[in-house]
Amino acid sequence: MCHAAAFLINGLLDGHGSVWKSWANRVNFTFKHIPKITVTHSYEIKKKFIFKCLTCKFEIHRFSKSIDINKELCGLCHGRFEIILNNKNDKNKNEEYLDDDERFDRIRNDDYEFNSKSAGMIENAVSRTPNKFALFVKENYGSVKKDKNLSNHKDVMQELSKNFKQLSAK
């Protein structure tokens, strides 16, 4: 989320630079009850899908069904995979940290007080209204694409930009 804030609010793709660090510090100060945000982490990331080799029991964990079990084979033994849905309620996993959905539900439901400055920044980021050009694009994209018989997004946007400049000059 700090990467998203740095990009959406500050307009920077800064990696783990000074802007990202300032957002991480703000979050760490405001939300002391969640794990500390650092460049590296020590908590386990639970992924929704486990692809388990039926022969050697090798496991590949993924967030999506990105492996086609009918085509792909295990790289170690060339066995077939089965898909296992990772159970969020698995008590064998490290319970020190909750998965993101559970953690943020708990934050929303508990009576934690937000720093008013941080809450205002979040509110402003969400309620931003589109500028005139964005509204113009939204209203005219389909008609320009159809009328000019353009299939490339870049060409449509160039035409919209030209039309917008002509309208703005009047």
pTM score, two decimals? 0.36
Q: What is the pLDDT of residues 76-133, one digit of tens each?
A: 999 999 999 887 655 444 444 445 555 555 555 444 444 444 444 444 455 678 899 9
DSSP state of 150: -
The rounded distance, in Å, linking the Cα atoms of 131 and 107 is 33
Give mean pLDDT, residues 162-167: 92
Q: pLDDT value at position 93?
A: 44
pLDDT, mean over the chain: 79
Would you say 12 and 19 are in contact if contact means Cβ atoms under 8 Å apart? yes
Would you say 101 and 129 are in contact if contact means Cβ atoms under 8 Å apart? no
Residue 54: pLDDT band (50, 70, 90) is very high
Return the domain boundaries, the chain: 2-42+113-126, 49-85, 132-169
Cα torsion 34, 38, 42, 48 to 10°: value is: 70
Distances (CA, A) of 169 to 68, 144, 156, 159: 54, 19, 20, 16
Q: Could you list the beta-strand ranges (E) of the chain.
A: 49-53, 59-62, 81-85
